[in-house]
Each structure stands twice: as structure tokens, then as C-alpha cells.
A = this chain, B = another copy of it.
């Protein structure tokens, strides 16, 4: 499996660490990602995590515009100023910093959610609520087309 799929919830220990699910770690290994790029998602109260390719994609987007434009400046503020590099410890855990806690509301447990080329960190209750909402919206949309 070369993509991030499914979700899992793990517990944060007393030192603020949490194990990345083994399935995700093996995807990271397969893609040769040892340094993780994390940033605050633009839409959801979640942290998105991926490799440097993620950052590269954003930077290309900035470079495509005028790099001195206010829009580019603003984008850089988000992806550079709002991004962090993280590396896993020997056991495949990462630190849940205040940077992550404040933005997501995470405190005791973390839900890891696969998103194909990256994965996300969610507060468990927030993920369940949003997933339920998405399911409901799809149900209504599907009914219209019957």
C-alpha cells in the first residue's frame, strides 16, 4: 500500500508523544519520507502531515504568481510561518506541541486520518462530527439523484 488510508486513534502519553499508526509509517518508509512537513489545514481544524513534496507543491504555486505580490506573501505566511518540520523518534512517535493542540483542540487522544498523499491529525470528536456531517450531506445529495 502506497497511500495513506483509513483512520486510527492513539493516545498521547505523559510526555506529549503519540505513536503514528504502523500502516502510515510503512507508507512513509515506502516513499522515503523521514522528515515530515506539518501545517494547519486551510479548511478543517486539523493538522496536515506529509513529506517535502507537499511543501514543494505549495512553493511552486507561489512561484507561479508574482512572488512579491501580497497574495504570495500571505500564502508564504501560512505555509512557511504556519508549517513545522517534525521527525519521528526511534519508535515512530511524534510530539504533540502547543502549535498542534491550539489549532486542533487535541488534548488526550489523536485521530490519524489518511488522505491519500498525506494524513491529518484530528481531535477525535471533531473528526467523528465532521465525518457524520459529510455522510449526511452525501445521503441527501444521493437521494436527489434517484
Contact = CB atoms under 8 A, between A and B. Distances in A.
Contact of A42 (B1, B59, B78, B146): B146
Interface of A is mostly: mixed
A135 B146 CA distance: 17
Nearest to A58: B68
A140 to B, nearest CB: 10
Interface in A24-67: 35, 37, 40, 42-44, 55, 59, 61
Interface residues of A, number: 46
Interface of A: 1, 3-7, 23, 35, 37, 40, 42-44, 55, 59, 61, 68, 70, 73-78, 80-85, 99, 113-116, 120, 127, 130-131, 134-135, 137-139, 142, 146
